[in-house]
Amino acid sequence: MNIINSLMFGYYITLGCFLEVWCQGLFFLFFDVMILGNMIILAIETSCDETSASVLKAGSKKLELLSNVVSSQINIHAVYGGVVPEVAARQHVHNILPVIDEALKTAKIKPAKIDLLAVVPGPGLITSLMVGVETAKSLSFAWQKPLLEVNHMYGHIAGNFLQPIVFPAICLVVSGGHTEIVHLKNYQTYKKIGQTVDDASGEAYDKVAKLLNLGYPGGPKVSAEADKFTLLSKEGVGGGLPRIKLPRPMLNSGDFNFSFSGLKTAVLYATQKMTKKELLERTPEICFEFQEATIEVLTKKTLTAAKQFKAKTILMAGGVAANKRLREQLREMSEANGFAFSVPEFKLCTDNAAMIAIASYYLSQNKKTPLDNWQKIKVDPNWELA
C-alpha cells in the first residue's frame, strides 16, 4: 500500500537530508501559493467517532472540495448508548490509512502534489485524537510536507467559509461537547463571548433520547419525534400546543452563557410521573417541547449577541446545526432582523475533515501561523477556543 511504503521510507530518512528537503518543501509551498495562488491541502479528523480525510484545492478566489471521506462508527457505539473512547480509538487505527487513501484517490491527488497537511489535536477524546495526530506527523515527516494544527471547534466554524462571509459575524457553535457563541472580526480573528456552564446542547439531546429510550445519537432521533408532534398538530390530531411545559434556562441571564443540564432534569422529572403507556404516547410531545425550549434559548441569545456586537452576519456550526428546525428558526430570526445568515450544508455540520481543510487554508494565510513545527504538535483534549 502506498501510504505504508511512504511511512516506512520516511522513518529511514536521515535528519540532514530531512531538513534540506523540508526547507525545499516550504519553498515550493510558498512559490505555489504566491505565484500560482493554488494550494492542495490534505486534512485529517479523528476527534471523536468519525474517521475522516479530505482534500481541498484552495485558491485566493475559490475553495474547491475534491474529496471528503467520513467513516462513521455510529453503529458500533449505538449498542452501548454512547461513544466508548477505547473502542473509538481502535476503530480509528483500523480506518485511518484506508480513509486517507480513499480521500486521495477520489481527489485524484498524489502525495507529491500536497502542499499542506492539517490535523486536529483537540478538543476531543484523547485516544482518538492521538491516532489522527500521530498519523499526520508521520506523513508530514515521510512526505516532507508542512503540518498545521487546527482547533476542532474553529474547524466547525470554518465549515461556513466555503463561501465569502461578510464580517463582523457572530457564530452559534452547537455540538456534542460544546455550546458557544463566538464573535469573529475576520476569518482568523475570533473570541468566545459565551458558553454552556454545564451540558452542551448536543449532550442534552443525547441524554433526553436515552431517557426516552430512543437510542444513539439522540439529536436526530429527538428531532424526528418532535416532527411527529408537529405533523399530528397540523392534522388536528394531538392538540396543537404541548401540555408539558419545560423551562428556558438562563434565557434572561444578561450574558451569553447557557445551561442545559436543568432542562434535561426537568424532562426526567416530568417522565417519572408517567406510566409506560403514557410515556410512549407522549414521547413526540416531550421531544417537541424539549426542542422548542432548546432552540428558543439558543436563537434568542445569538440574536442579542449579533445586535450587541453590531454583526453583519450570523453563522451556525457543529453537529446540532444539522437540526432542521434550529436552522429554519435561526435563519428566519436573522433575516427578519437584517442579518445575513449562513450555515454549512448538512454533511459539513457533523464531524468531517473538509471543515478542517477549510480552516487550515485560512490559518495558513495568517503570516504568524507556524508551518514548520510539526514536532511540537501534541494532542490537547481540552483545547479551548480563544
Residue 176 C-beta: closest distance to Zn ion, Å: 7
Q: Quick one: 121 or 177, whose CB is closer to ligand KG4?
A: 177
Residues 202-241 that bind Zn ion (CB under 5 A): none
Partner touching 205 among ligand KG4, Zn ion, none, CB below 5 to 8 Å by kind: ligand KG4
Query: Of 121, 146, 217, 242, which one interacts with ligand KG4 (CB under 6 A)?
Result: 217
Partner touching 202 among ligand KG4, Zn ion, none, CB below 5 to 8 Å by kind: ligand KG4
Question: Per CB under 6 A, does 260 bind ligand KG4?
Answer: no
Residue 49 C-beta: closest distance to Zn ion, Å: 10
Q: Quick one: 60 or 213, whose CB is closer to ligand KG4?
A: 213
Partner touching 350 among ligand KG4, Zn ion, none, CB below 5 to 8 Å by kind: ligand KG4
Query: What single letter denotes the amino acid at residue 58?
Result: A
Query: Of 140, 175, 223, 283, which one interacts with Zn ion (CB under 5 A)?
Result: 175
Partner touching 344 among Zn ion, ligand KG4, none, CB below 5 to 8 Å by kind: none
Residues 165-184 that bind ligand KG4 (CB under 6 A): 175-177
Instruction: List phi, psi (to 5°) of 183.
Output: -100, 125
Residues 339-358 that bind Zn ion (CB under 5 A): 351
Residue span binding ligand KG4 (CB under 6 A) among the ranges 87-95, 137-145, 244-252, 317-325: 317-325
Residue span binding ligand KG4 (CB under 6 A) among the ranges 244-252, 254-262, 320-328, 330-338: 320-328
Residues 334-353 that bind ligand KG4 (CB under 6 A): 350-351
Partner touching 206 among Zn ion, ligand KG4, none, CB below 5 to 8 Å by kind: ligand KG4
> CA 74, 222, 156: angle at the middle one, nearest 5?
60
- Please write down the HEC assignment for all residues of the chain: CHHHHHHHHHHCCCHHHHHHHHHHHHHHHHHHHHHHCEEEEEEEECCCCEEEEEEEEEECCCEEEEEEEEEECHHHHHCCCCCCHHHHHHHHHHHHHHHHHHHHHHHCCCHHHCCEEEEEEECCCHHHHHHHHHHHHHHHHHHCCCEEEEEHHHHHHHCCCCCCCCCCEEEEEECCCCEEEEEECCCCCEEEEEEECCCCHHHHHHHHHHHCCCCCCHHHHHHHHHHHHHHHHHCCCCCCCCCCCCCCCCCCCCCCCECCHHHHHHHHHHHHCCCHHHHHHHHHHHHHHHHHHHHHHHHHHHHHHHHHCCCCEEEEECHHHHCHHHHHHHHHHHHHCCCEEECCCHHHCCCCCHHHHHHHHHHHCCCCCCCCCHHHCCCCCCCCCC
Partner touching 283 among ligand KG4, Zn ion, none, CB below 5 to 8 Å by kind: none
Q: Quick one: 32 or 380, whose CB is closer to ligand KG4?
A: 380
Binding residues for ligand KG4, rule: CB under 6 A, are 48, 175-177, 202, 205-206, 217-220, 223, 318-320, 322-323, 350-351
Binding residues for Zn ion, rule: CB under 5 A, are 175, 351
